[in-house]
């Protein structure tokens, strides 16, 4: 019950974070130089000017373009280490980190390079940053189900380091049911399941992610608010939603932060968490998202503590680990 103190950020877990979305312009240019990759931007200022998005797709175009600089294990290690240092400084004690294997394998970067590289950072994160981690492999929903299944099979040698699967990229027109068999196979391998749903897509995609894919959490889930019966179900089943307020503003899912439905969602009894999504692109890491909803949405200290508590409760940490992190 201590008053808010910005010098002591609230301990929290980050549950919705794309590691490729933590690529800051400075690191992008450093890696481009190291790998002899030419970026179509003169410098970091010019690149930053490209960070004005109309919608999810306009962001994804830049997100995939900049991945060209990620080529070696060390690149992925440097990327993840930079994220973990920033996250730790903002009170993140545990991070469940998404990565997009197909975005790399289709450019000729092997899955092993990605996983081994990320693991160089994640494997020593508790010691180096005081942040425990989990890795969640996402399938690109605008690629085929066959490609997703091939990716799952290719990941089998690395499953000791991969906790779960997710579903991301362009949502509309790519309903969860497209990935039914892939998620069944993932479940059979003992993987945890999450999926983006209801970011730009309709509430029906949230229902489908729960019923067809068997997800334990819904990433975003914002548009559930259009369907009162769905809200009631999500409340009753205590389905965690990993919201990303600054992302929603930058991708124009909400007009301005002051209009964000987070307060109404909490009032409805939904199990919300606050996360950063692609912090290098959307103007803030986990603590910045907490600060923004605190100052702009006027959430009480109790609500902020509830959000932090939810983040650990909705994580894939075991109960004993969870108590230690908090």
Nearest approach, Cβ of residue 16 and ligand ES4 (Å): 9
Among 134, 196, 217, 294, binds ligand ES4 (CB under 6 A): 196
Among 12, 18, 93, 192, binds ligand ES4 (CB under 6 A): 18
State the Cα–Cα distance between residues 225 and 107, nearest whole angstrom. 38
Is 168 a binder of ligand ES4 (CB under 6 A)?
Answer: yes
Is 195 a binder of ligand ES4 (CB under 6 A)?
Answer: no
- Residue 22 CB contacts under 8 Å (≥ 6 apart), including other chains: 79, 80, 82, 83, 86, 278, 279, 280
Is 101 a binder of ligand ES4 (CB under 6 A)?
Answer: no
Nearest approach, Cβ of residue 166 and ligand ES4 (Å): 9
State the Cα–Cα distance between residues 181 and 178, nearest whole angstrom. 8
Nearest approach, Cβ of residue 137 and ligand ES4 (Å): 13
Q: 21 is in the binding site of which of ligand ES4, Zn ion, none (Cβ under 5 to 8 A by kind)?
A: ligand ES4
- Locate 98 and state its tokens: 């998404």
Among 277, 284, 290, 292, binds Zn ion (CB under 5 A): 277
Tokens 């690629």 correspond to 143
Active site residues: 199
| Residue number, nearest CB to Zn ion | 277
Question: How many residues form the binding site for Zn ion (CB under 5 A)?
Answer: 1
Distance of CA 10 to the CA centre of its chain: 19
Backbone angles phi, psi at 192, to 5 degrees: -75, 155
Nearest approach, Cβ of residue 21 and Zn ion (Å): 8
Residue 120 burial class via C-beta count within 10 angstroms: exposed 0-12, middle 13-18, buried 19 and up: middle
Among 14, 96, 278, 325, binds ligand ES4 (CB under 6 A): 278
Which x/- pattern, by CB under 6 A, does the window 56-75 give for ligand ES4? x------x------------
Residue ranges binding Zn ion (CB under 5 A): 277
Annotated binding site for substrate: 278
């Amino acid at each position: 019950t201590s008053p808010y103190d910005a010098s002591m950020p609230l301990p929290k877990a980050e549950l919705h974070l794309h590691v490729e979305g933590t690529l800051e312009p400075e690191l992008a240019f450093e890696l481009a130089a190291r790998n002899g990759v030419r970026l179509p931007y003169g410098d970091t200022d010019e690149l930053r000017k490209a960070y004005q998005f109309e919608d999810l797709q306009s962001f994804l175009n830049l997100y995939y373009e900049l991945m060209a600089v990620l080529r070696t294990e060390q690149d992925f290690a440097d990327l993840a280490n930079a994220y973990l240092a920033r996250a730790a400084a903002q009170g993140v004690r545990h991070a469940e980190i998404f990565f997009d294997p197909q975005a790399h394998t289709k450019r000729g970067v092997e899955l092993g390079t990605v996983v081994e590289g990320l693991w160089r950072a994640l494997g020593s994160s508790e010691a180096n940053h005081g942040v425990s981690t989990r890795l969640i492999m996402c399938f690109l929903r605008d690629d085929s189900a066959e490609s997703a299944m091939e990716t799952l099979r290719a990941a089998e040698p690395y499953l000791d380091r991969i906790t779960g699967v997710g579903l991301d990229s362009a949502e509309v027109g790519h309903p969860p049911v497209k990935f039914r068999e892939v998620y069944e196979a993932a479940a059979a391998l003992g993987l945890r399941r999450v999926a983006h749903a209801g970011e730009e897509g309709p509430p029906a995609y949230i229902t489908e992610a729960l019923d067809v894919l068997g997800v334990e959490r819904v990433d975003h889930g914002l548009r559930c608010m259009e369907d009162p019966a769905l809200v009631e179900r999500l409340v009753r089943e205590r389905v965690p939603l990993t919201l990303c307020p600054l992302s929603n503003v930058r991708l124009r899912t909400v007009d301005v932060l002051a209009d964000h439905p987070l307060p109404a969602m909490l009032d409805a009894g939904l199990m919300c968490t606050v996360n950063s999504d692609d912090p290098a692109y959307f103007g803030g890491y986990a603590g910045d998202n907490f600060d923004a909803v605190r100052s702009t949405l006027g959430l009480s200290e109790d609500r902020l503590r509830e959000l932090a508590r939810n983040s650990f409760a909705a994580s894939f940490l075991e109960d004993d680990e969870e108590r230690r992190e908090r």
